[in-house]
Amino acid sequence: MNRNHFLLSCSCLLFSLLSCSNQGNAGKQPLSATAADATNLSVVVPAFNADSAYRYVDEQVAFGPRVPNTPAHKACGNYLADRLKAFGAVVTNQYIDLPAYDGTLLKARNIIGSFNPEQKKRIALFAHWDSRPWADADPDPKKQYTPVAGANDGASGVGILLEIARLLGAQPATLGVDLILLDAEDYGAHQDYQGAHKEEYWGMGAQYWARNPHRPGYNARFGILLDMVGGFDARFHYEGYSREYASSINRKVWRMAKQLNHADRFVDRNGGFVTDDHLFVNRYAGIPTIDIIPYSDGGEFFAHWHTVKDDMSAIDKQTLQAVGETVTAVVYNEK
Ligand code: AHN
Ligand code: ZN
């Protein structure tokens, strides 16, 4: 047991004791330190490596913008599936033609890597792997039709999931885990578009997966979506739909972040509502799913969101580490 594991175990024990006394105070039957607590103590969470996650972000970005119907998108999809397979996941591809807001038919691909596929108790982790076709939030009007590198908006979440895949391949978790890389998240209309727009033009790969999961009758105990989880000064608040559909999962994740000393990034406050992939997973698949996304109430996501500056210079390894080790600990602590 290395030092981190030891510290985590100690804080688990401390937390268990505190929650026992709280429950006692609330007049409920006081809980003794039960077998469940003892099992908690024995969980060894493998070390999340942010250098490794950073490399997976960089490798995606190196293909160029992962805009559907482009060679870079196709090549990166193959890379992601190969990576998942190399880590020991069972990979399922969903190749789908999705009509975008302007009638463009997107040749989309959801890529699912499953660990321990026969286990009925499962966790679903999501990120989108496509990048935005236009930097329509760029301050320079000449750049507003340039595709976005999507280092933070896209590749960061996938990079963390690939690192978790590496860990799962080396040391299985108790529950089965599905890493669900969604396509066509970021093809919502350009800001100059004058026609009618619907929220369904975002998160199109997620809508398909939520209505047609990779396994018929698929279910998971809960889901976690990672979006823009690599930025400098990222602050995560409880996102609105996550609160409405999955507030207990918010609390589970934020509590773990606090135990790991990441309360500075995982702030104990409510944020705004974001139309993101998790909305459709909650709405159509009925899996309680939160979104870890840097969004305060009414604020922006991050400084270079949907601009040409969302490249590798926008990625902070410390943010990858904070989010990565928190999600990893949540996954491995689930019984
Ligand atoms: C809206 O801005 C409505 N949704 C943002 C979802 C998104 C875009 N996530 C990443 N890029
Ligand atoms: Zn985006």
pTM higher than 0.85 for the full model? yes
Atom 9 in ligand 1: residue holding the nearest Cα: 276
306 CA: nearest ligand 1 atom = 11
The answer, yes or no, to whether any atom of ligand 1 lies below 6 A from the CB of 296, is no
- The CATH number covering residue 309 comes to 3.40.630.10
Q: Which domain holds residue 279?
A: 3-333
What average pLDDT does this structure show over 291-319?
93
CA of 128, nearest ligand number: 1
186 lines ligand 1 (CB under 6 A): yes
Mean per-residue pLDDT, 108-123: 98
Give the model's confidence band at 240: pLDDT under 50 very low, under 70 low, under 90 confident, else very high: very high
Test site for ligand 1: of 131, 274, 292, most ligand atoms within 8 A of the Cβ:
274
Task: Classify 294 as helix, strand or coil.
Answer: coil
CA distance 162 to 155: 10
Least confident range of 104-108, 164-168, 297-301: 297-301
Cα–Cα distance between 68 and 84 in angstroms, integer?
20
Q: pLDDT per residue over 49-81, tens digit each?
A: 999 999 999 999 999 999 999 999 999 999 999
**Segments of 60-103 assigned E as strands:** 90-99
CA of 276 to the centre of ligand 2 (A): 9
Choice among 101-105, 196-200, 283-287 with the minimum mean pLDDT: 196-200
Task: Say yes or no: CB of residue 276 within 6 Å of ligand 1.
Answer: yes
Q: Mean pLDDT across the stretch 32-45?
A: 55
What distance in Å separates the CA atoms of residue 173 and residue 165, rounded to the nearest whole number?
11
Please determine, for residue 282, whether its predicted confidence score (pLDDT) is greater than 70. Answer: yes
**Number of domains the chain contains:** 1
Tell which residue, 224, 219, 225, 248, has the closest CA to residue 121: 219
The pLDDT of residue 284: 98
User: What's the rounded Cα separation, in Å, for the pair 116 and 130?
Assistant: 26
**pLDDT score for 25:** 33
- Does residue 316 line the site of ligand 1, with CB under 6 A? no
Strand-pair partners of 179: 113, 125
Express each pLDDT in 163-219 by its tens digit: 999 999 999 999 999 999 999 999 999 999 998 888 999 999 999 999 999 999 999
Res 2 pLDDT > 80: no
